[in-house]
Amino acid sequence: LFAAVEMAPRDPILGLNEQFNADTNPAKVNLGVGVYYDDKGKLPLLRCVAEAEALMQAAAKPRGYLPIDGIAAYDKAVQGLVFGADSAVLAEGRVATVQALGGTGGLKIGADFLKRLNPNAQVLISDPSWENHRALFTNAGFAVATYPYYDAAQRGINFEAMLAALQAAAAGTIVVLHACCHNPTGYDLSPAQWSQVVDTVKARGLVAFLDMAYQGFGEGIAEDGAVIQQCLAAGLDFFVSTSFSKSFSLYGERVGALSVVCGSSAEAGKVLSQLKIVIRTNYSNPPTHGAQVVAHVLSTPALRAMWEEELAGMRVRIREMRQALVAELKAAGVSQDLSFVTRQKGMFSYSGLSAAQMQRLRSEFGVYGVDSGRICVAALNSRNLKSVAAAMAAVIKG
Ligand code: PMP
């Protein structure tokens, strides 16, 4: 039966982790990861999460099946966070939201639904993008192409080329957009640029699919969701996937959502019924624990305030690490303009280093990043910063 099965290619980042684990260099540092570590280099357990779990434990309940679309209070809390609790679109019942298995699950439910709705649509993702975007939409049956994004020479975004590609896209094209904290580059559009993108999506009849995996990691919860308000103001029908993996440090609980903004509450009801079929035929219904924690935190004022503070703490620490990295690189004699490092948002930085320089970082210094030049700034801390900067300076200076 399996004689013809070929070995699938390894996930490049997992391969990097294996190489890191096997490295005997005591000073090794893993910047290839896509998770936030605290200043001690540990994955944090947020206090708001621990307190919500203690409350849940004290009033432990049996675990029946959840509804197909998940915990109602969770879906409502997600809507409040993504669209604003007082948003007219919520009062009008125009948003269909379902609990999903992380942000990936939200993307996949949306992709499967879109495949039924518009099977011949093309999907456009940014160049480069989170690698799973391409794989996920391809596996859902779509032809996936890219729109220009990263501009290596400018250390930023090639916005004119991005806009031109969107203007040239056929009506119905699904455009996957990183709402904030672009993975892998760290470069986000300005509000004025977003406005042009939203106008183009509207004028060309494109379908915006916003991937919001890092809300609160860039500038703040509302600031990072600003593009959502622009889409609402333009009257678009659009998709938003949400992930709480990073913002709640709940990676392994698989807590996310998909929201679809529709033209009327009647449409939203029909869309919800279709999303439920996608879920029902994939995994029937979602798990309870993580979503219950998030719903609890978001809807309990004291816990919510605690979460916002803890999230701000993660955001500020990342920003401090960016500034400190620049300062250390300068102190180590790197003379080139490094201001791009502090212009970038979120966990990642496209360092501008070549594949050869990234390989040298690994082999000579035990500093592991991705060959594209991507490093995880959220894995820097006050103990490893100096050695990482010294290693980077050495390979930059040649
Ligand atoms: N989208 C982007 C841009 C991401 O970076 C990630 C996670 N690395 C996801 C989606 C998936 O998030 P989750 O782990 O919640 O599935």
pLDDT digits (tens, 9 = 90+) for 125-141: 999 999 999 999 999 99
Chain CA centroid to CA 165, Å: 23
Rounded to the nearest angstrom, the distance between the alpha carbon of 375 and the centre of ligand 1 is 16
pLDDT of residue 295 exceeding 80, the answer is: yes
Nearest to 169 by CA among 201, 199, 129: 201
Within the chain, strands assigned E span: 29-30, 95-101, 122-127, 143-148, 150-151, 156-157, 174-178, 207-212, 238-243, 255-261, 348-350, 367-368, 374-376
Q: Which 8-state DSSP code applies to residue 66? A: P
Which of 253, 287, 321 terminates a domain? The answer is: 287
- With a 6 Å cutoff on the Cβ, whether 243 touches ligand 1 is yes
pLDDT > 90? residue 15: no
What is the total count of domains within the chain? 2
**pLDDT in the model for residue 81:** 97
Whole-angstrom distance, CA of residue 35 vs CA of residue 45: 13
| Tokens encoding 272 | 């919800």
Same domain, 310 and 283: no
Choosing from 14, 176, 181, 183 the residue with most ligand 1 atoms within 8 A of its CB, the one to mutate for a pocket test is 183
Neighbours of 220 (CB within 10 A): 16
Q: Assess whether the C-beta atom of 184 lies below 6 angstroms from ligand 1.
A: no
The token pair at 200 is 């183009």
Task: Check if 310 has its Cβ closer than 6 Å to any atom of ligand 1.
Answer: no
The overall average pLDDT reported for the chain is 97
Q: Does residue 346 have its Cβ closer than 6 Å to ligand 1?
A: no
How high is the pLDDT of residue 253?
98
Last-in-domain residue among 287, 322, 343: 287
Q: Measured in whole angstroms, how far is the alpha carbon of residue 74 from the centre of its chain?
A: 19
Q: Which of 69, 75, 112, 211 is an active site residue?
A: 211
Asked whether 130 lines ligand 1 (CB < 6 A), one says yes
CA angle (214, 218, 220) in 5-degree steps? 95
pLDDT digit string, tens, across residues 219-255: 999 999 999 999 999 999 999 999 999 999 999 999 9
Say if ligand 1 is within 6 A of residue 259 CB: no
296 falls within a domain: no
Whether 270 sits among the annotated catalytic residues: the reply is no
Identify the DSSP state of 278: H
The range of the structural domain enclosing residue 158 comes to 65-287
Helices then strands, counting H and E runs in the chain, come out as: 16, 13
Here the CATH number for the domain that contains residue 173 is 3.40.640.10
Reduced to 3 states (helix: H, G, I; strand: E, B; else coil), residue 73 is helix
Ligand 1 centroid to residue 129 C-alpha, Å: 11
The pLDDT of 150-175, averaged and rounded, is: 97
How far is Cα 147 from Cα 149, in angstroms, rounded to an integer?
6
* Residues 368, 21 contacting (CB under 8 angstroms): no
- Is 4 within a domain? no
Report the C-alpha gap between 95 and 74 in whole angstroms.
14
Residue range 83-96: mean pLDDT, rounded = 97
Is the pLDDT at 161 greater than 90? The verdict is yes
Active site residue 23: no
Q: What pLDDT digit, counting tens, does each position of 19-58 carry?
A: 999 999 999 999 998 999 999 999 999 999 999 999 999 9
Give per-residue pLDDT as tens, 324-340: 999 999 999 999 999 99
Phi first, then psi, for residue 175 (nearest 5°) are -110, 115
Q: What is the pLDDT of residue 11?
A: 81
Stretch 108-113: mean pLDDT, rounded? 98
One domain, residues 214 and 145: yes
Measure the CA–CA gap between 98 and 68, rounded to whole angstroms.
8
Catalytic residue among 188, 246, 307, 345: 246
pLDDT digits (tens, 9 = 90+) for 353-372: 999 999 999 999 999 999 99
307 is catalytic: no
> What value of ipTM does the predicted structure carry?
0.99
103: Cβ below 6 Å to ligand 1?
A: yes
Residues 38 and 73 in one domain: no
The Cα 192–Cα 204 span in angstroms is 18
CA of 336 to the centre of ligand 1 (A): 32
